[in-house]
Structures are given as C-alpha cells and as structure tokens.
A and B are shown apart, each in its own frame.
Chain A
C-alpha cells in the first residue's frame, strides 16, 4: 500500500534560518504529492503541490521538488519567520489505487524563535 514517511520533529530554528523537512513516499501508482500546513487549533491548509516527476511546487517562499528517482518531496524555505511556526504534513494521493483518498505523514512541528 501507499505510505509517507516524514522527518521526525519537533524542529526548532531561529528566525532567518534555512528549513528542510524531509519526506519520502512509497506508492504503487503515480501519485500527486502535497505539503499541508496546520496552525494551532485550525484545520489543514494546502501549502504546495506537485503532480509529476521533476515538478516543483512553491508558495509563500516554500518549495518542494517531486523526485521520482529518490521517491522524495522535501520541503525547503530559505529564511523562516516566527509566523511559519506550525505543523507540516506531507501527503500523497493516487487516483489509480486509492480512488482519490490521501495518505498523510505523521506531521513535523516547526517552532521558529525570534
């Protein structure tokens, strides 16, 4: 079956530091890949997505590249802000094997200190 493995947290960084959160996946079909963000007490919001190999998703300074050869979709940001403190979830959806359902990683908590 499909699975998503995320870098374990929590991650604590100083403001303006470089962020990487690792994500690798296992899928039998050709999945689309996503990063979602969850702020305290809220639901998840889509941060970025990529639908095929070598696609780069980007939004709000965050980027992730769909790497089929390494089955990875690592999240990066060059300079984090205190407002980026949140939980980040990597996910995949696979139309062929999962009929549209998504598989989520366990989430990585990011805290950015001023």
Chain B
C-alpha cells in the first residue's frame, strides 16, 4: 500500500510554455503533499507544501507565481511550471504524507519523479 504516482514521467517542452505535473496518492488520502526539485547530482530541495483545500506554502526562494500548485482533492496535487525556461529543467518529485495508521510516524511516500527538460 501507500503508493504515489506522478504523470508524466518525463516531458520535453519549448521555452516559454507551461507544463503541468500530476501527483496522485493511489491507495490512501493525503491531506498534505510536498513538491521537491532535484538538480543533477544534488539532493532533494523542498519547493512547497500543499494542503488539500488551501493555498500552498512555498519555501524561500521559490516563486509562487511561476510554480503553481493546486491540491483540489485528497488524492491529487498538481504542479504547473509556467513560462518554463531551460534553467527550470530538473527532476521534480512529489511526496504524500499518509494519515496515522497507514504508515509509521510522519512518513512521506515519494512518487517516481518527473524529468522536465526545457529546450
């Protein structure tokens, strides 16, 4: 149990276009989802925390108008990279926190990631 999926797994787009990435918790309801960005050979950096039905909380240095997050249901959060540029090329990973009883203490379950390449 506790599976998180992401779609698409990879995407290539032209500079200036917008790209939407979906994150779904498949077998549990997640009130909180997280979005991370990972550049090559680097660690995961938290971008924002997404709570169902409320506005996302962004980490310092992350532009909320560029990285739009919507958490419309307990099983789906989306990240839209608006007006993407080559420097936005990265590996975007989401995670979902399962409610108590589904997992061990405060565990986050991670999606498989989405590779974004902006030409």
Same complex for A and B? Answer no
Q: Which of B's residues lie within 8 Å of A, judged by CB?
A: none
